[in-house]
Structure 1
Amino acid sequence: MKGIRSRLIVYITIVLLLIVLLLEGVFIVAVHYYYLGSAMETLSSRAVTSATFFNKYLEGYSINERARYILENLSTEESSKVEVLSPAGDVIINSFGFASSEHIETPDVKDALISGKGTYQSITPLNGERIMAVSIPLRESGENIGVLRYSVSAEPLYDVIINIVLNAAWVGLLVILFGFVLSLIIAKRIVGPIQQLTSVAKEMATGNFDVRAEKRYDDEVGTLAVTLNYMSEEMVKSEKIKYDFISSVTHELRTPLTSIKGWGETLLVGDLSDKKETLQGLEVMTGETDRLIGLVEDLLDFSKFQAGEIKVSLQPYDLRGLLEDLLLQFRYRGQTKQIRLYADIPDQPLPVDGDFNRLKQVFVNLLDNAFKFTPAQGEVRLTADYNETLIIITVADNGEGIEADDLTKLGTKFFKGRSRQSGSGLGLAICKEIIELHGGRLRIESEFTKGTSVIVELPRYPVE
Structure 2
Amino acid sequence: MSKLMRKFLLAVLAPLLIMGVLSFSLTAFLVNRFAEGERYSQLTREANIIKEALAEDRPVPREIQGFITRDGVTERIGGRGRQVVELPILNDLQQQDSIEVQGNRLLTYQLTSGDTVITTIREAPLASSALDGVYLAIGVALLAALLLATGLAYYMGRQFIRPIMELRMVAKQIGDGRKDVLLPDRPNDEVGDLIHAVDEMQEQLIQKEALQKSFIAGITHDLRTPLAIIRNETEALAAGVIPVDELPDVTSSIIEETDRLGLLIDETLVYSKLAGGMMPLDRTEVALDQLVEETAERLQSTFQKDGLRLTVETVPVRLSLDRRMFERVLVNFLVNAQVAAPVGSEVLVRLTATELTVEDAGNGVAENARSTIWDLYVKQTGGSGHGLGLAISRLILDSHGLAYGVRDSALGGACFYIQFK
Pick the TM interval, shorter chain: 0.7 to 0.9
Q: Are the aligned partners of 2:63 and 2:78 in contact in 1 as well (CA < 8 Å)?
A: no
Q: For residue 88 of structure 1, what is the aligned residue in structure 2?
A: 72
Bigger drift between 260-269 and 158-167 goes to: 260-269
Whether 1:424 and 2:408 are equivalent positions in the alignment is: no
Q: Look up the match of 1:141.
A: none
**Cα distance per residue 1:233-278 (max 9 Å; x no partner):** 33333333322322333333344445555666777789533846x6
Q: 2:261 aligns to what?
A: 292
- 1:292 and 1:94, CA in 2 relative to 1: closer, same or farther beyond 3 A? closer
Q: 1:379 aligns with which of 346, 352, 355?
A: 346
SS in 1 for 2:382: coil
Is the Cα contact below 8 Å between 1:79 and 1:152 reproduced in 2? no
1:3 is displaced (CA, Å) by 3.1
Q: Counterpart in 1 of 2:279?
A: 310
In structure 2, relative to structure 1, the CA distance for the partners of 1:321 and 1:37 (3 Å cut) is closer
- Asked whether the 8 Å contact 1:380–1:395 carries over to 2, the reply is yes
Deviation at 1:454, TM superposition (A): 2.9
> Structure 2 matches for 1:180-259, cutoff 5 A?
180-208=150-178, 210-211=180-181, 213-214=183-184, 217-259=187-229
Q: Answer yes or no: is 1:124 the counterpart of 2:101.
A: yes
| Residues 446 and 197 of structure 1, relative CA distance in 2, 3 Å threshold | same
CA contact under 8 A between 1:432 and 1:441: conserved in structure 2?
Answer: no
User: Does the 8 A contact of 2:402 with 2:419 survive in 1?
Assistant: yes
For structure 1, which segment, 39-48 or 320-329, has the greater mean C-alpha deviation from structure 2 after superposition?
A: 320-329
Q: Secondary structure at the match of 2:278?
A: coil
Helix, strand or coil for the counterpart of 1:399?
A: coil
User: Could you tell me whether the CA contact under 8 Å between 2:300 and 2:310 is conserved in 1?
Assistant: no
Map of 1:403 onto structure 2: 366
Contact 1:407/1:446, CA 8 A, preserved across alignment? no
Distance 1:416 1:380 in 2: 20
**Matches for 1:117-196 after TM superposition, within 5 Å:** 118=95, 122-125=99-102, 136-138=111-113, 144=114, 146=116, 158-162=128-132, 164-166=134-136, 168-196=138-166
Q: What CA distance in whole angstroms lies between the structure 1 residues aligned with 2:364 and 2:145?
A: 71
Note if contact 2:35-2:125 (Cα within 8 Å) is conserved in structure 1: no
Question: TM-score, normalization: structure 2?
Answer: 0.76
Decide whether aligned partners of structure 1 residues 254 and 79 sit closer, same or farther in structure 2, where only a CA change above 3 A counts: same
Q: 1:424: Cα distance to partner?
A: 0.7
Cα pair distance change 1:266/1:448, threshold 3 Å: farther
Aligned residue for 1:61?
none
State which drifts further: 246-255 or 79-88.
79-88
Using a 3 Å threshold, how does the CA distance of structure 1 residues 13 and 401 change in structure 2: closer, same or farther? Answer: closer
* Alpha-carbon displacement from aligned partner over 1:168-206 (angstroms, at most 9, x marks no partner): 445544444445445544554454444333333333333
Partner of 1:305, secondary structure, is helix
Shift of 1:283: 5.0
Offset of 1:423 from its aligned partner?
Answer: 1.3
Provide structure 1 residue ranges, at least 5 long, that are not aligned to the other structure: 59-65, 139-143, 460-464
- Matched AA of 1:28: A
Give the Cα separation in 2 of the matches to 1:320 and 1:24. Answer: 78
Match of 1:342 in 2: 310
Give CA-to-partner distance per residue, 1:14-41, whole Å, 9 cap, x none. 4444333333333334444455543442
Question: 1:130 & 1:324 partners in 2: Cα distance?
Answer: 100
Alignment partner of 2:413 out of 451, 460, 463: 451
Contact 1:401 1:449 in 2 (8 A): no
Aligned CA distance change for structure 1 residues 83 and 420 (closer, same or farther; 3 Å)? closer
Q: Aligned with 1:424: secondary structure?
A: coil
Deviation, 1:301, is 1.9
CA contact (8 A) 2:360 2:411 kept: no
- Counterpart Cα distance in 2 of 1:264 and 1:283: 12
Bigger Rg, which one: 1
| Amino acid of the structure 2 residue aligned with 1:42 | Q
The 3-state SS of whatever aligns with 1:410 is coil
Q: Tell me, yes or no, if the aligned pair for 1:402 and 1:449 is still in contact at 8 Å.
A: no
Unpaired segments ≥5 residues, structure 2: none
Note if contact 1:9-1:184 (Cα within 8 Å) is conserved in structure 2.
Answer: yes
Q: Equivalents in 1 of 2:397, 2:105: separation in Å?
A: 93
The aligned residue for residue 366 of structure 1 is 333
Residues in 2 aligned to 1:353 and 1:318: alpha-carbon distance in whole angstroms: 9
- Residues 60-109 of structure 1: per-residue CA shift (max 9 Å, x gap): xxxxxx3xxx12xx67xx63257765342343x956796644455553x7
TM-superposed deviation, 1:404: 1.2
- 1:397-443 Cα distance to aligned partner (Å, 9 max, x none): 212221111122222322213x1332112112223444555665554
For 2:101, the aligned partner's letter is T
Displacement of 1:154: 7.7
Equivalent residues of 2:125, 2:131 under 8 A apart: no
- The range that moved more, 199-208 or 352-361, is 352-361
Q: Secondary structure at the match of 2:73?
A: coil
Deviations 1:322-364 (A, max 9, x none): 6566556544434443x23233356x87766666654554444
Aligned mates of 2:318, 2:277 — CA distance in 1? 27
Distance 1:10 1:440 in 2: 47
Q: Which residue of 2 aligns with 1:25?
A: 25
8 Å Cα contact 2:333-2:416 kept in structure 1 = yes
